[in-house]
Amino acid sequence: MSAFEKAKTARVSASGEMDWASAYEELLPKVYHYFCLRIGDRFEAEDLTAATFERAWRDRERFRTELGTFTNWLFGIARHVAIAHLRQHEQKQSTAEPSTEESYRPTEEAAATQEEFDRLASMLSVLPEREREIFSLKYGAQFTNRSIAKIVRLSESNVGTILHRTVSRLREQLEDGK
Amino acid sequence: MKDDFIYRALPEVRKEFAQSLYARIRGRPSRSGMRLMIKSHRILQFAIILGVLLLVAWSQVRFWIRYVPIGDLWLVEFRSTQPTTGIQTVDPVPTPGQLPTAIIDGEVVIILSGIDYLSPGWIPDGFSATTVPGPGYSYETSIGMWSNEAQETIRLFVVPRTGGARPYAPPGMYKGVRVNGQPAILVYGRLAPNPPENPQAQRKWDETLGLQLTWGVGDAIFTLETLGLYVTEEDLIRMAESMKVVPPYLWESPTP
């Protein structure tokens, strides 16, 4: 059984039987990428990822396997964190300055990825909220279409259609940009 | 669906971020742990406050009164000018326990059954037996009185060992002595009465206001007291040592 599977099925007990190290290792990139795509800023994504894991750790005794997998539970928290952030962001947008991280010096390869990501983020920023959420759950959190359908309360085929349409549009924009 | 361009664009998680976040969250307690910590903290705070209050109360009580054992007797030592509110010059501090009393003719009287009646075989020069005044004190019963020409008096009173009176004095105003080899307490002076023009003033201890010699016989505590320095402590002890048990019918007219 992979660490991810362990994380999906593990139960957090008072005695601390949960394999947090494995779950963290497996789910950290997914949560981070979810926020990257959902928010469009790598540094804000780090902050929100930290907030999500901190809240999950603090509330770990509330997690119950009979109510769902650990991944679903964690992403439930992540989605709440994202919504709260977006609300705050909307309120502060008029006076907010662009995010900076002086201590971060990307390598050449990272700089290329950063450029690609910035372009992708720019394209995502014009997507409607629902499409962006579905897109983030698919390519960030790596949920299946069926899981996403349950989360956003749409049919699986609807989710598939939205994703297909979104990805096609992004690819076209990307190719046009080149 | 060609979507590999999306995965390529996703930034990797910085190692420093991943490590620092992991270290940070593992060092934090859970919500219930925090609640427990807060609860423990509050209990600790409450215990400290309670402890301080008890300490203050205890120190105050220690400051006001202290029970000093002298042989099989107890003396109430107080540190302020007044031992406790409501105590009059001649009202001693009662001992714990139920004072044996009965209502006779509408009056509450102390029952002295089983208590020996004493009469002295020797009294200081110039003194003679006089009429014992009627009951006037809450916790004691006068059983003998002697006076001289100057109307100076020596009084003998008795209280039950349980529920009766205890002598009281500030530190340094009493000492342990012996009456026929048995432990006794000699108190120098008493609380001075307030002047009539200022009855509410704080009363002061005046060591010139006589002596009180207290000793125990069976279930009773006897006290010989004077109201001035007209009898020496040696004479008072001698008088106490000369006390003999007399039949109750002789109590009304103490000798000699």
What is the per-residue pLDDT across B16-25, written as a single tens digit (0 to 9) for each?
Answer: 999 889 888 8
Cα separations in angstroms, B129 against B19, B112, B149, B153, B248 = 101, 21, 12, 10, 17
Q: How far is A173 from chain B (nearest CA, A)?
A: 12
State the nearest Cα–Cα gap between A54 and chain B, in angstroms. Answer: 6
Please, how many CA atoms are within 13 Å of residue B144, restricted to the half-sphere of its CB? 31
Q: Is the pTM of this model over 0.90?
A: no
At residue A60, the pLDDT reads 77
pLDDT number for residue A1: 44
Rg (alpha carbons) of chain B, rounded to whole number: 34
Q: What is the DSSP letter of A129?
A: H
**CA proximity to A31, closest of A149, A167, A137, A130:** A137
B51 against A68, higher pLDDT: B51
Interface residue of B16, B25, B32, B36 to substitute, partner A, most A CBs within 10 Å: B25
Q: Given an 8 Å threshold on Cβ–Cβ distance, is A49 in contact with B8?
A: no
pLDDT for res A178: 58
Mean pLDDT (chain A, rounded): 80
Average pLDDT (B250-255) is 52
Write out chain A residues lying below 8 Å of B31, CB-based: 58-59, 61-62
Pick the closest to residue B4 from A35, A116, A4 (CA basis).
Answer: A116
Kindly state whether A101 is in contact with chain B, defined as any CB-CB distance less than 8 angstroms. Answer: no
Q: Do B21 and A28 touch (CB under 8 A)?
A: yes
Percent above pLDDT 70 for chain A: 74
Nearest by Cα to B135 from B105, B93, B163, B161: B105
Contact B12 A110 (CB under 8 A): yes
Looking at residue A2, its pLDDT comes to 44
Answer yes or no: do A113 and B8 touch at CB < 8 A. yes
Residues 7-26 of A with CB under 8 A from B: 20-21, 24
Average pLDDT, chain B: 79
Quick: pLDDT tens for B67-110.
888 888 888 887 755 554 444 433 445 555 555 666 666 666 66
Quickly state the pLDDT bin for B134 (edges 50, 70, 90).
low
Please check the confidence at residue A72 and state whether its pLDDT lies above 70: yes
